[in-house]
Structure 1
């Protein structure tokens, strides 16, 4: 079939960067203004990017494979596993309906059509809501820990639940197992119940914050990894993180962040960075709002995806970002204005050393040691 033409004399890196530039241009109007959760369907940008990626894969991949029915079948299985690795959410009927399309997807993506991914993800979100409702019901019930029961944890030998009754039984055992794990960690009673409720509700919130770029990355990576497991498609945010890892520097405040129960939490302050020089931001502090510049509106970031919060905090060196922070052990929100700087990620840099040793005959020899912290 007819494929988009590409100048064969252009380097692979130039083509790769051309795709990235296209994505970043389309992203600026969406990511930084925080698009709504609803994924209404395929965008024109999805179609353009998909056609370029499929063309590059067919023409430039070392395997010299075409995107065919076999790639389509493997890609669909990978996509399903990415969404529901433990077979906890989809019904078997959902899978049967998806698998009926397994030999059509190669033709669809060759034409830039990924509407299937949107439809399947919409089904996934519905199932997540159903399971969270089941979890809340199960957490309100008493569980008998004196009964011997078995739970299969190997997804490869599991089938998908055929109906809500089978799903409820699988989740009953899952919640009972979760409670036992917490009990072993000395977390019991209402504290354990509240912790599990937050865990699964937060998972649902994160899934509903998935953006079109995220879904495109999941779906295209499922297809590209069908050529070989090391071929992936990167969204703009993933590409930027990859570049940061490669060049070992970034522009921001110099703090590592994590998401704990819906709160963006400081996990580490990088020595010598802007936050460290500011002196007030500490590990375990929670960031609840972010504002740009000295007077920009403070945007509530509680329950916001970590990638979005990171994107708001990063910025050009010399500019100011204001953080609404609840210090560890406090309930009062404080506003910290921090001037962004260029941060060198020295802890991630490769290191080499030579160690001199002696063997049993007292003869000296040298050992070369290479440390790759980011590998």
Structure 2
């Protein structure tokens, strides 16, 4: 996959438009500790992985393919001659890892940065000319399997079409030629500048991702910094100032203030303010951070609880040469409530009767492992938060509950078990089989469920792992109705190995290895692996199964079954499902918002299947007119997926306020899938009461 670091470009290119004189990108080399980490990871993967894959020439070739694809997924940068040179070493990576020699991937990466410079320099040179949009020609959207350019002429032709496509989007959005030139020159310049701050850690992280995913789709490597971010995501807390930061035009910019955090409580910072310097302590010297990588600035701002960080701030409304000020903030523990469980109560009115459905949205199965291990009675976890929310919903006298697990990629296995226990009580939840074939039944020991009333679980293609364990157990017990689209299909269990601890390092140096050690199975003996959880009532989805889900991986484990565990299922839900399905079909037939959503999903699917896009202005305008005509009838509706307005801009090219407005509009748009799931739960309430 592509690198996902927020890298800030150094100002190495002349400020005048279309400048061509650029410094060569830095030549990066591996460190001794990186070579040691790769070797140690290989030893663990060869001995302790659930399905060990020998580190040989076959795996070496796969690693090479994945590494190259991660750098140039659309085959727009490298030439065929580059690939031929790389492939001469395709069977040598295994020996290189074992010999602690990582020169091969680093040499490839150094070619990559040079190719970025070459392509962006050429793309910027094209902006001097105009384009003829009256000719009939297409630009290939998807090039993941296209041939590499054989010559400079082929590469130039490919990039001519790429630049022409970018230009046409901005032209269709109403920009004048001069503005288009400025926008695109800045865009390509920014891409070029991103190669300069890369460090050897970035190269190593990318290479290790290629290695580990060649072994197993869910095996991964975390550098020391990445390990820290993983811990934060599980704890839902960190020590800092409580500000979401973003790189914009070389500045570290305040994107959001976390409610209750030091920054928000101080009243000294506002969204859009730019951090131009960071210092430590009450009187510490302030170091300028303009042009510094975002991740490095973040680490400078985080620190020990109750310590002081000094920030040199350029206000949002000030120009580059405007007055700035220095403020002191006391670091504190900041809770990341956006990733925590939340509830809302939605009414459903039918035939004069109102049913109240409590919706609990859970973005991830989080758990503060350290606090729990240390005996903290108030440690934070998903199941504890949901138990509290269920108590509140009971006091609000809801009739049913919907658990929204859409795009919940999983998390703690223990939390999946504990959360399921809140709805089924004492009993088996999931089975695990290790590499030796030993099977263990994981159970919950809650004497009685926290919620015994009507229950629905809303899932989509992004619901994976722990989400699937929960949904599968609810389905097997007949405890609730599963609604949505088939889930991801991840039926494996991972553990994290601290390589520094293994090597007895006193300081963080080698990172962590996440490897697959077991496979989980449903209590009915089946598995969610590959096939996912099939909903009882299906809803349309926006995702592309070819790109998202376990079946999209070429080395995913197969679907298998084992003996069922001993559990007592309730057949009440099975009896209600036909009636729930009938009511659902009748309702959505007359639901205009739902039908608009269905139409948009079909259009998105058709767009995905198009491999090319026209570069003819008339044809594109006709397509825009057709879409506008379709959307005109719903001008006041906020339930559609498709939008007619395309400004042709990337997120970092819009103002911060414009981006936030777009995000808020999406957030506040009518959620037709959730509303239908709530209506299904309300039907469950009606039918359950009628059956008594």
TM-score range, shorter chain: 0.7 to 0.9
Residue among 56, 63, 86 paired with 1:98: 86
Shift in Å, 1:169: 1.5
Higher mean Cα deviation, 268-277 or 173-182? 173-182
Q: Describe how 1:22-37 pairs up with structure 2 within 5 A.
A: none
Pairing 1:299–2:266 present: no
CA gap 1:157/1:188 in 2 versus in 1, 3 angstroms = farther
Residue among 188, 192, 195 paired with 2:183: 195
Partner of 1:346: 337
Task: State the superposition RMSD in angstroms.
Answer: 2.5
Q: Describe how 1:322-337 pairs up with structure 2 within 5 A.
A: 322-331=310-319, 332=322, 333-337=324-328
Cα deviation digits, residues 265-293 of structure 1 (max 9, x gap): 21111011011012121112222222222
Partner of 1:80: 68
CA gap 1:61/1:188 in 2 versus in 1, 3 angstroms = farther
Following the alignment from structure 1 to structure 2, what is the Cα–Cα distance between the partners of residues 182 and 71? 44
For the 8 Å contact 2:75–2:144, the answer to whether it is kept is no
Following the alignment from structure 2 to structure 1, what is the Cα–Cα distance between the partners of residues 341 and 406? 5
Q: Tell me the SS of whatever aligns to 2:139.
A: coil
Partner of 1:231: 219
Following the alignment from structure 2 to structure 1, what is the Cα–Cα distance between the partners of residues 72 and 29? 21
Q: Tell me the SS of whatever aligns to 2:50.
A: coil
Partner of 2:152: 164
Computing the radius of gyration from Cα coordinates, the structure with the larger value is: 2
For the 8 Å contact 2:30–2:204, the answer to whether it is kept is no
Shift in Å, 1:355: 7.9
Q: Tell me the SS of whatever aligns to 1:107.
A: helix
Q: Tell me the SS of whatever aligns to 1:207.
A: coil
For the 8 Å contact 2:251–2:290, the answer to whether it is kept is yes
Could you list the runs of 5+ residues in structure 2 that have no partner in the other structure?
Answer: 1-24, 356-398, 410-692
Cα deviation digits, residues 23-63 of structure 1 (max 9, x gap): xxxxxxxxxxxxxx845422111121111111111111111
Following the alignment from structure 1 to structure 2, what is the Cα–Cα distance between the partners of residues 185 and 315? 45
Residue among 232, 247, 257 paired with 1:259: 247
Residue among 146, 167, 177 paired with 1:179: 167
Partner of 2:303: 315
Shift in Å, 1:187: 3.5
Residue among 74, 92, 98 paired with 1:110: 98
Shift in Å, 1:138: 0.9
Shift in Å, 1:156: 2.4
Partner of 2:121: 133
Q: Tell me the SS of whatever aligns to 2:161.
A: helix
Following the alignment from structure 2 to structure 1, what is the Cα–Cα distance between the partners of residues 229 and 51? 27
CA gap 1:159/1:64 in 2 versus in 1, 3 angstroms = same
For the 8 Å contact 2:120–2:191, the answer to whether it is kept is no
Q: Describe how 1:238-249 pairs up with structure 2 within 5 A.
A: 238-249=226-237
Shift in Å, 1:123: 0.7
Could you list the runs of 5+ residues in structure 1 that have no partner in the other structure?
Answer: 1-36
Residue among 360, 369, 373 paired with 2:403: 369
Higher mean Cα deviation, 81-90 or 190-199? 190-199
Q: Tell me the SS of whatever aligns to 1:151.
A: strand
Following the alignment from structure 1 to structure 2, what is the Cα–Cα distance between the partners of residues 94 and 48? 28
Higher helix residue share? 1
CA gap 1:363/1:276 in 2 versus in 1, 3 angstroms = closer
Pairing 1:270–2:281 present: no
CA gap 1:143/1:302 in 2 versus in 1, 3 angstroms = farther
Q: TM-score normalized by structure 2?
A: 0.46
Q: Tell me the SS of whatever aligns to 1:67.
A: coil
Cα deviation digits, residues 190-228 of structure 1 (max 9, x gap): 332222222222222222211112211110110110112
For the 8 Å contact 1:355–1:367, the answer to whether it is kept is no
Cα deviation digits, residues 207-253 of structure 1 (max 9, x gap): 22111122111101101101121111111111111110000000111
Q: Tell me the SS of whatever aligns to 2:138.
A: coil
Higher mean Cα deviation, 43-52 or 244-253? 43-52
Following the alignment from structure 1 to structure 2, what is the Cα–Cα distance between the partners of residues 59 and 354? 50
Partner of 1:22: none
Residue among 257, 280, 285 paired with 2:273: 285
CA gap 1:323/1:95 in 2 versus in 1, 3 angstroms = same
Partner of 1:26: none
Shift in Å, 1:352: 6.6
Cα deviation digits, residues 316-339 of structure 1 (max 9, x gap): 122222222222221123323222
Q: TM-score normalized by structure 1?
A: 0.83
For the 8 Å contact 2:73–2:144, the answer to whether it is kept is no
CA gap 1:143/1:336 in 2 versus in 1, 3 angstroms = farther
Following the alignment from structure 2 to structure 1, what is the Cα–Cα distance between the partners of residues 33 and 27? 14
CA gap 1:372/1:252 in 2 versus in 1, 3 angstroms = farther
Higher mean Cα deviation, 236-245 or 351-360? 351-360
Higher mean Cα deviation, 95-104 or 205-214? 205-214
Cα deviation digits, residues 164-185 of structure 1 (max 9, x gap): 2222211111111111222333
CA gap 1:200/1:305 in 2 versus in 1, 3 angstroms = farther
Following the alignment from structure 1 to structure 2, what is the Cα–Cα distance between the partners of residues 311 and 111? 33
Shift in Å, 1:64: 1.9
